[in-house]
């Protein structure tokens, strides 16, 4: 039987209750369980109205093992109770209701037989301890229908009602209707039903007035939450509306998808701004998901009102301007109207834009349309599939190791994958499921979303059957029992709203220098196969190519035909193929911040979003940079920043990047040389390579000779060459040390594939971040595979010498993060003790009331690897200004863990400012990327 407590322990919540609780402020653990897992409390006591009583699924006071599922409420008008039980019936859902007087009533139960042939989701209704005389969810129809439970004599007073699951296979109940009219048949159409429900639930006829806002953001996922935060911080009165109980979208506690972006494939490329701020909070509280971080940041904004469990399903418009939206509460069904000046669609599915009549695109463009090599010859409606997910670690299913053999029999409705299915995929995590359990992209996951989710159930259970009974490594899974297959459906793709520009793959690949860039992308081109798990040998990807860091133009972020509509997230104006590049969450968070900022400027100047692009672009870009959002080429040109013209000095300066700091980029466990390992690095044709150094560890008691080969490669994924251009050997001694290889040779190749041969008892370390354009390779000579997104600890002597110095002046050079040429930061000398100071002398005395500091949180580390307290980050600091020859403290901060800090204080007239660094989180150097100084 589904065990909630064990489930929570498995997904990692049981041990982390205190911080999870803090995400919900005063609410209790039980509230959390109810909210996130759907065990919501009854909202009301059903009443006898007009000879009938309407009982909603949400009205059950104890959901037992059923979950209250509101995912499809926008299509069917209500949430349902769902028996998500993996083949073992779930605990009963229970409630009481009161009859005002004794009478016979006809009972109707709204249920759905979700697989007509096999009737998997059967359940019973038990009234006052007596089973009604039929099974529900077993009708000869796979639609939602009212099932007649016959006439029952009810006495006046209290009655008990129970939903009793019979199968444990996703039985579902929407509502129960009692009618004193034996001939009454409830309507089946969604609209008629809404009218009846509203009457019997005595819902107000008109939507409640939810207020007027400068900006309304629909959807609070990775894109929507930053959009709302950015705008609220710039002074807008903002409403953030989500139909889920928590913030975060796919990255929430419910679904738990990792935040990825350019950080995964490029050095020093982790996204800054609100994305980094939320990431720091996530890491600080040891959370795996973003609900906690976005929740905390939203709580801090007085200008921001969050509306949870509210699905926007109506738009009020005048001409091409949206005036207001209407949303209904997916638990109470009450409606609310919110008036706004500006709107952001961050719903993923572009519902707001759709209701507003915004132009959109669904599916794949033809190859000829944008010259995209991965596009099909003819355009179609096919999208990437979604997956079922359970948060907060983003697992696809949960299994438990029992210690005894646990047989599994495939339910008749699940797919029966053949013995040798040639999936073209390898199964990595049978314990937690895999990301390629996907349906055929022809499924309509907008209007047949519930059916699409059910199709995933068929696939997931089919996969589990295949693993248990057919897979060649099935012995490993023998003692594992399926614990939970989540019913929550996370989507990868649906509508994309059309802006003034559509970003395409060729543009991203050649890094089109868009003048209106507002964000960057750096994820690979990651387009999943349209046929999902049914693509056979073709595997899970349509394409998965390395991509450069590309720019995202602002023109992709507002609607081309609705004048006050912006968009952020996976529904921005990009082609289907380019979506494969931009659709990851860190990237979308930066798009969100850009769009929220643009909305703030649009309201400030009374302009449309398009108008901002036409006449306030520079201000938009500079405002983003001021708030720690960057893209390549962007430099501080803010004339109000007094620091730009200041002369800098410091207590000490680091002359060049020390060798042991480079070694400090080390990550995780080293890779054992049980097979050959390699690294493909970009090279300049004809350039001479003097030597290479690899960080290795030997557990052999004696020194050994280790072979290194260099081959030519045409790209970062090319492991085709079998021709060694050079073989050298190095000496690896016991313990950990750098192994030098003298090369002294020029290579006429664009990429060098450096391989170290298999060697017993020896390991090669991996490096944090990646070499730009480089890739790890794994394998032996007959079969190599290239693994994008990581690199081995391998340096050219040139790289080690590089790194540049970190003078005080770097803190005002306008670039607040490392570039290829420089670290762009002030770093104190490694041999000088704390405290250390950085001083700014201004051209002339000025009134100063605001200081912005940007610290080093190691943007070279991937988002999900970033530690809570990066050693480089300044922990304790002070700011002083000189007044009449005396240093006066204006800021003192202890325990900082953020990269970007803004301090405002009573303005003081001064010509000198000093930042004291008292302590870091472990690094012996004080590091500051940027100091900005303003009057207010
Ligand atoms: C299985 C899977 C694995 C993935 N893996 C990764 C990964 O490893 N790394 C990565 O970075 N990305 C990954 N992605 C991609 C990433 O999760 C999405 O591209 C991203 O979440 C899109 O963000 P968004 O803000 O546009 O939409 P979403 O995250 O979908 O958020 C939109 C929110 O709006 C709400 N909403 C929808 N309609 C309405 C409405 N009408 N009214 C109010 N609220 C509404 C939704 O309920 C949702 O909460 C994955 C996606 C999937 C499906």
Burial of 409 (0-12, 13-18, 19+ CB in 10 A): exposed
Closest ligand 1 atom, residue 260 Cα:
11
801-840 tens-digit pLDDT: 444 578 999 999 999 998 866 789 999 987 899 999 999 9
Closest ligand 1 atom, residue 311 Cα:
42
Average pLDDT, the chain: 89
What lies within 8 Å, CB to CB, of 831 at 6+ separation is: none
Q: Whole-angstrom Cα distance, residue 492 to residue 569?
A: 11
pLDDT exceeds cutoff 70 at 22: no
CB-CB contact of 596 with 564 (8 Å): no
Residues in the chain, total: 936
Peptide bond into 269 cis (omega under 30): no
Closest ligand 1 atom, residue 569 Cα:
26
Q: Whole-angstrom Cα distance, residue 163 to residue 300?
A: 42
pLDDT exceeds cutoff 70 at 565: yes
Best residue among 69, 264, 348 to mutate for probing ligand 1, ranked by most atoms within 8 Å of CB: 348
47-62 tens-digit pLDDT: 999 999 999 998 998 8
Go through the domains of the chain in sequence order and give each one's CATH number. Answer: 1-40 (no CATH), 45-189 (2.60.120.260), 209-363+493-626 (3.50.50.60), 387-490 (no CATH), 642-657+803-934 (2.60.120.260), 659-801 (2.60.120)
pLDDT exceeds cutoff 50 at 329: yes
pLDDT exceeds cutoff 50 at 10: no
Eight-class DSSP state of 278: H
Structure tokens at 713: 């490669």
Nearest to 159 by CA among 94, 104, 92, 99: 99
Best residue among 249, 525, 592, 595 to mutate for probing ligand 1, ranked by most atoms within 8 Å of CB: 249
Q: Which residues form the pocket of ligand 1, taking CB atoms under 6 Å from any ligand atom?
A: 218-219, 221-224, 241-244, 249-250, 257-260, 311-312, 346-349, 351, 386-387, 389, 435, 490-492, 569-570, 583-585, 588
86-107 tens-digit pLDDT: 999 999 999 999 999 999 999 9
Eight-class DSSP state of 251: G
Q: Which residue has the higher pLDDT, 897 or 680?
A: 897
Best residue among 79, 219, 566 to mutate for probing ligand 1, ranked by most atoms within 8 Å of CB: 219
Q: Coil, strand or helix: which one is 827?
A: strand
Nearest to 372 by CA among 178, 580, 515, 209: 580
SS3 content of the chain, % helix, strand, coil (to 5): 20, 35, 45
CB-CB contact of 572 with 591 (8 Å): yes
493 Cα: distance to centroid of ligand 1 (angstroms) = 9
Q: Whole-angstrom Cα distance, residue 515 to residue 716?
A: 29
Structure tokens at 592: 């969100």
pLDDT exceeds cutoff 50 at 584: yes
pLDDT exceeds cutoff 70 at 75: yes
CB-CB contact of 694 with 729 (8 Å): no
How sure is the predictor about 169, in pLDDT bands with cuts at 50, 70 and 90? very high
243-285 tens-digit pLDDT: 998 899 999 988 999 999 998 888 789 999 999 999 999 999 8
Question: What does the pLDDT read at residue 151?
Answer: 97
56 Cα: distance to centroid of ligand 1 (angstroms) = 28
407-466 tens-digit pLDDT: 999 999 999 998 766 677 888 889 999 999 999 988 899 999 999 999 999 999 999 999
Instruction: Walk across the sheet containing 726-732 and list its strands.
Output: 726-732, 704-713, 751-756, 676-682, 775-780, 783-788
Q: Whole-angstrom Cα distance, residue 149 to residue 132?
A: 7
Q: Whole-angstrom Cα distance, residue 165 to residue 86?
A: 12
How large is the average pLDDT for residues 713-737? 83
What lies within 8 Å, CB to CB, of 48 at 6+ separation is: 99, 100
CB-CB contact of 524 with 485 (8 Å): no
Calculate the alpha carbon distances from 814 to 250, 400, 637, 808, 844 in Å.
35, 53, 7, 13, 20
Strand 238-241 relative to strand 208-218, pairing: parallel
Instruction: Walk across the sheet containing 157-165 and list its strands.
Output: 93-99, 157-165, 123-127, 130-131
């Amino acid at each position: 039987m589904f065990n909630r407590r064990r489930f929570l322990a498995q997904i990692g919540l049981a041990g982390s209750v205190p911080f999870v609780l803090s995400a919900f402020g005063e609410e209790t653990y039980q509230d959390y369980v109810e909210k996130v897992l759907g065990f919501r409390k009854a909202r009301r006591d059903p009443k006898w109205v007009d000879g009938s009583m309407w009982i909603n699924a949400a009205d059950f006071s104890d959901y037992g093992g059923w979950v209250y599922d509101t995912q499809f409420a926008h299509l069917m008008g209500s949430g349902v109770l769902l028996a998500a039980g993996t083949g073992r019936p779930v605990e009963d859902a229970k409630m009481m209701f009161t009859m005002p007087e004794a009478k016979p009533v006809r009972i109707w139960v709204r249920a759905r037989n979700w697989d007509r042939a096999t009737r998997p989701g059967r359940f019973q209704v038990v009234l006052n301890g007596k089973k009604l005389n039929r099974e529900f969810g077993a009708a000869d129809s796979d639609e939602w229908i009212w099932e007649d439970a016959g006439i029952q004599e009810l006495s006046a007073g209290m009655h008990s009602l129970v939903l009793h699951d019979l199968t444990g296979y996703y039985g579902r109940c929407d509502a129960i209707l009692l009618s004193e009219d034996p001939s009454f048949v409830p309507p089946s159409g969604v609209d008629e039903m809404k009218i009846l429900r509203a009457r019997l639930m005595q819902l107000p006829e008109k939507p409640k007035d939810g207020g007027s806002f400068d900006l309304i953001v629909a959807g609070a996922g990775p894109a929507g939450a930053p959009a709302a935060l950015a705008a609220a911080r710039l002074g807008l009165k903002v409403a953030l509306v989500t139909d889920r109980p928590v913030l975060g979208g796919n990255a929430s506690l419910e679904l738990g998808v990792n935040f990825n972006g350019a950080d995964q494939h490029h050095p020093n490329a982790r996204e800054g701004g609100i994305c980094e701020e939320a990431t720091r909070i996530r890491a600080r509280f040891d959370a795996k998901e973003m609900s906690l971080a976005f929740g905390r940041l939203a709580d801090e904004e007085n200008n921001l009102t969050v509306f949870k469990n509210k699905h926007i399903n109506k738009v009020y418009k005048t001409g091409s301007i949206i005036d207001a939206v209407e949303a209904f509460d997916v638990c109470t069904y009450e409606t609310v109207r919110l008036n706004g000046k500006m709107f952001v669609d961050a719903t993923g599915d572009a519902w707001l834009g759709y209701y507003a009549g915004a132009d959109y695109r669904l599916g794949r463009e033809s190859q000829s349309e944008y010259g995209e090599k991965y596009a099909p010859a003819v355009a179609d409606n096919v999208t990437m599939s979604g997956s079922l997910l359970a948060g907060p670690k983003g697992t696809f299913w949960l299994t438990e190791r029992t210690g005894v053999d646990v047989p599994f029999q495939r339910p008749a409705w699940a797919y029966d994958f053949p013995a040798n299915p040639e999936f073209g995929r390898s199964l990595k995590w049978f314990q937690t499921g895999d990301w390629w359990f996907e349906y055929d992209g022809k499924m309509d996951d907008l209007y047949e979303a519930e059916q699409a989710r059910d199709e995933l159930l068929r696939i997931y259970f089919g996969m589990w059957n295949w693993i248990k009974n057919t897979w060649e490594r099935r012995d490993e899974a023998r003692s594992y029992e399926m614990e939970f297959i989540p019913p929550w459906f996370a989507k990868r793709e649906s509508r994309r709203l059309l802006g003034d520009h559509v970003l395409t793959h060729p543009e991203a690949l050649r890094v089109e220098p868009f003048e209106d860039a507002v964000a960057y992308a750096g994820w690979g081109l990651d387009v999943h196969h349209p046929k999902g798990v049914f693509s056979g040998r073709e595997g899970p990807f349509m394409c998965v190519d390395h991509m450069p860091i590309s720019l995202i133009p602002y023109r992709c972020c507002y609607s081309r035909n609705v004048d006050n509509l912006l968009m952020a997230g996976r529904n921005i104006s990009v082609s289907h193929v380019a979506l494969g590049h931009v659709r990851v969450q860190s990237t979308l968070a930066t798009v969100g911040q850009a769009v929220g900022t643009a909305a703030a400027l649009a309201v400030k100047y009374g302009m449309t979003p398009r108008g901002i692009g036409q006449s306030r672009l520079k201000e938009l870009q500079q405002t983003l940079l001021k708030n720690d959002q960057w893209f390549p080429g962007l430099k501080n040109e803010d004339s109000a920043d007094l620091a730009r013209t200041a002369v800098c000095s410091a207590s000490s300066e680091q002359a060049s990047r020390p060798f042991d700091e480079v070694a400090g980029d080390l990550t995780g466990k080293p890779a054992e040389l049980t097979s050959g390992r390699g690294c493909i690095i970009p090279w300049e044709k004809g350039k001479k390579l003097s030597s290479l150094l690899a960080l290795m560890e030997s557990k052999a008691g004696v020194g050994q000779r280790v072979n290194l080969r260099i081959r030519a490669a045409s790209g970062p994924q090319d492991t085709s060459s079998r021709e060694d251009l050079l073989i050298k050997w190095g000496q690896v001694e016991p313990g950990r040390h750098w192994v030098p290889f003298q090369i002294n040779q020029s290579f006429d190749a664009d990429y060098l594939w450096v391989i170290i041969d298999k060697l017993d008892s020896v390991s090669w370390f991996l490096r944090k971040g990646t070499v730009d354009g480089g890739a790890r390779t794994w394998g032996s000579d007959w079969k190599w595979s290239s693994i994008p997104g990581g690199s081995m600890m391998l340096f050219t002597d040139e790289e080690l010498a590089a790194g540049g110095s970190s003078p005080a002046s770097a803190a005002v050079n306008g670039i607040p993060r490392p570039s290829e040429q420089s670290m762009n930061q002030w770093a104190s000398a490694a041999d000088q003790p704390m405290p250390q100071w950085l001083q700014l002398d201004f051209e002339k005395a000025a009134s100063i009331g605001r200081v912005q500091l940007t610290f080093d949180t190691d943007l070279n580390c991937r988002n999900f690897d970033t530690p809570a307290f990066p050693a480089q980050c300044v922990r304790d600091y002070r700011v002083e200004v000189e007044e009449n020859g005396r240093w006066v403290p204006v800021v003192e901060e202890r325990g900082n863990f953020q990269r970007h800090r803004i301090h405002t204080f009573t303005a003081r007239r001064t010509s000198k400012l000093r930042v004291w660094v008292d302590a870091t989180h472990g690094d012996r150097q004080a590091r500051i990327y940027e100091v900005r100084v303003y009057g207010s």
